[in-house]
Amino acid sequence: MGKVQTFKTEVSQLLDLMINSLYSNKDIFLRELVANAADAIDKARFESLTKPELARDWQIRLAVDKENKTLTISDNGIGMTESEVIENIGTIARSGTKAFMQEMAARQDQSTAAPDLIGQFGVGFYSAFMVAEEVTLITKKSGSDAPAVRWISKGEGSFETDTDPRTEPGTEIILKLRPTCENYLEEWKLSDIVHRYSDFIAYPIIFPHVKVNEDKTETIEDRTLNSQKAIWLRKPSEITEEEHKSFFSHLSNWGGSEYLQVIPIAAEGVQEFRALIYIPEQAPFKFLMPDLQKKGLQLYVHRVFITDECKELIPDYLRFVRGVVDSSDLPLNVSREILQENPLLLKIQKAVTTKVLSELQKMLDNDPEKYRKFFREFGKILKEGIHTDMQNGEKLKKLALFETMNSKPGELITLTDYVKTMPENQKEIYYITGESRAAVESSPALEYYRAKGFDVLFMTDPIDEWIMQSMYQFDKKNFKSIIRGEFEADEEEKKTLDEAAKKYTKLVDFLKKSLDGDVSEVRFSGRLTDSPCCLVIEGNALSPHMERLFKAMNQEIPRTKRILELNPAHPLTEALNARCEAGEEGLDRFARVLYDQALLTEGSPIPDPAAFAKNITELLLGHLKKD
């Protein structure tokens, strides 16, 4: 007879919980036991590096006995001595057990929460009791003379240990399955779980498949259930493009297998992890529907699959990449809540981000065409980082591409290119925001810059308005919206403007009164060369483009009145001023048309198109009748 010992209180409570409160996803017991087996082999393999006599044909085996309703998981790994068995899975409550219980007590719905927590707290072994009414563990420590140990428990407060005749090093865990869990005797079921959770375990997980021959006799042939393809652990130079393609399509689930760039990462030192990141060639259809889109990277810990969508591994603005991270430092299995709080993940995220951004920069430097292709697909998303990731803001600004007034439609340039072509007398980086190239291209506000030979960035993505709030500077030069704030005139220009203001007071007063509901101010500016007038935004006010974006999102925002700027040199200014001075009646129509026209040229809708058309007709008629 062996020795009967009682579990520590916490272990008893834990087992009680495992047995009585956990209903969902019992499948994970196999993942936990396979992971333990793989860990044990890792350790034995490490020992065998210095003691070659300990080397084996490393493998994990599953076996079922349908008559006795048992499932056995065995490995030829390191094994345990008796005291190790007691220490690891016996009386002594491991530190994780208590923490697990506390976490469980805090949960409302214990039945669904617990499976995620099991591995996290190093209590994976006990998950065997979710499916087994009795667990037998037979283990022999590798390289030790002590006899093998047998440990048996029904999970009800006590366990029994004894010696066992086993001579081969390794561990065998025999689960006497509960009547409700007999599906774990089926090969397809086990194969399915292994495929789902343990496919990339680096050792073969073997199942003896019973094959019925033509003459009705049976032969047993070993089948390996996992592909063992931990492609991310291999040397990047040895992975073929075909292998990348097939792995990428496995990761992406997009049906396509085309990726633009693969980024392998092998981080050593403080933070140990391997990663294989892919930049897709195209944004999939699902990408337009945020809900369908998978976010984050796959997370493995020691080749054991943890989760498909670990958002914490990648910042939101890189959500278009697909990939896998395999960490050696994280505890096995982690619940979503725990993932969010884990500082290790944040460190991995930082390292992955740095690497991806530097690879993108390399692509931009060495293969600009390829980079432009990338940017057309994902640039809108990448740019979000300028606003959200202050730490990498400078890198991201270098990676952003824009159309400009002087570039051809569809042609994209970097801020570095922009700065390089700035004439000496240009001090700031000019930009204009709007709906599309067509809309901003015709803006009268461009006239001055065109005449001066300055280029203007076209910010035509909805995201641009938003990121401009964080742009501040590039290459020590400020960004300046050409439709916002006061026009900065030089001495000579100032003189002209002052003179105009004095000369055309009647016109300014008239327009102020006539357009009182729409504009906050009327003034002269040097911004214009061809057009009679334009509308600009006061310092911090919302731009009309932004206003429309908010409206599109059903957000009520107060309408901001803008400033009407007049071109002092335009013949209309003088002519209209003369009419004002003469005290002519019915000039309001002119004011309306000027205002509506300013809206149209900047690409904004006019509030009352019918009234606009009517006003134009009247003016045409008036003109034609005179002749």
Q: Which residues bind ligand ADP (CB under 6 A)?
A: 32, 36-37, 40, 75, 77-80, 88-89, 122-125, 171, 332
What minimum distance in Å lies between the beta carbon of 77 and ligand ADP? 5
What minimum distance in Å lies between the beta carbon of 36 and Mg ion? 4
Cβ proximity to ligand ADP, 37 vs 564, nearer residue: 37
Cβ proximity to ligand ADP, 77 vs 264, nearer residue: 77
What minimum distance in Å lies between the beta carbon of 82 and Mg ion? 20
Q: Counting beta carbons within 10 angstroms of the beta carbon of residue 462, is it exposed (0 to 12), middle (13 to 18) or buried (19 or more)? A: middle
What minimum distance in Å lies between the beta carbon of 45 and ligand ADP? 13
Provide the angle, in degrees to the nearest 10, between the axes of the packed helices 368-388 and 343-366.
140
Cβ proximity to ligand ADP, 263 vs 299, nearer residue: 299
| Residue pair 207/223 in contact by the 8 Å Cβ criterion | yes
The pair of structure tokens assigned to 547 is 């206003």
Residue with tokens 């994970």: 28
Cβ proximity to ligand ADP, 63 vs 541, nearer residue: 63
Kindly state whether residue 342 participates in binding Mg ion, applying the rule CB under 5 A. no
Kindly state whether residue 171 participates in binding Mg ion, applying the rule CB under 5 A. no
Q: Which does 89 bind (CB under 5 to 8 A by kind): ligand ADP, Mg ion, none?
A: ligand ADP
Cβ proximity to ligand ADP, 330 vs 357, nearer residue: 330
C-alpha 148 chain-centroid distance:
49
What minimum distance in Å lies between the beta carbon of 122 and Mg ion? 6
The pair of structure tokens assigned to 313 is 């591994």
Cβ proximity to ligand ADP, 26 vs 527, nearer residue: 26
Cβ proximity to ligand ADP, 149 vs 348, nearer residue: 149
Q: Counting beta carbons within 10 angstroms of the beta carbon of residue 582, is it exposed (0 to 12), middle (13 to 18) or buried (19 or more)? A: exposed
| Residue pair 496/503 in contact by the 8 Å Cβ criterion | no
What's the CA dihedral at 587, 591, 597, 603 to 10 degrees?
-160
Kindly state whether residue 124 participates in binding Mg ion, applying the rule CB under 5 A. yes
Q: Is 148 helix (H, G, I), strand (E, B) or coil?
A: strand
Q: Which does 77 bind (CB under 5 to 8 A by kind): Mg ion, ligand ADP, none?
A: ligand ADP
Cβ proximity to ligand ADP, 78 vs 566, nearer residue: 78
- Select the span of 31-39, 204-212, 458-466, 559-567 touching Mg ion (CB under 5 A): 31-39
Q: Is 134 helix (H, G, I), strand (E, B) or coil?
A: strand
- Select the span of 34-42, 311-319, 401-409, 433-441 touching Mg ion (CB under 5 A): 34-42
- Select the span of 123-131, 253-261, 359-367, 529-537 touching Mg ion (CB under 5 A): 123-131
Q: Which does 524 bind (CB under 5 to 8 A by kind): ligand ADP, Mg ion, none?
A: none
What minimum distance in Å lies between the beta carbon of 281 and ligand ADP? 40
Angle at 539 between CA 535 and CA 541, to 5 degrees: 75
What minimum distance in Å lies between the beta carbon of 88 and Mg ion? 10
The pair of structure tokens assigned to 438 is 């067509």
- The rounded distance, in Å, linking the Cα atoms of 86 and 76 is 20
C-alpha 68 chain-centroid distance:
49
Q: Which of 36, 97, 443, 597 binds Mg ion (CB under 5 A)?
A: 36
- The rounded distance, in Å, linking the Cα atoms of 215 and 220 is 15
What minimum distance in Å lies between the beta carbon of 125 and Mg ion? 6
Spatial neighbors of 495 by CB under 8 A, at least 6 apart, are none
Which of these, 191, 204, 166, 213, lies nearest to 64 by C-alpha position? 191
Q: Which residues bind Mg ion (CB under 5 A)?
A: 36, 124
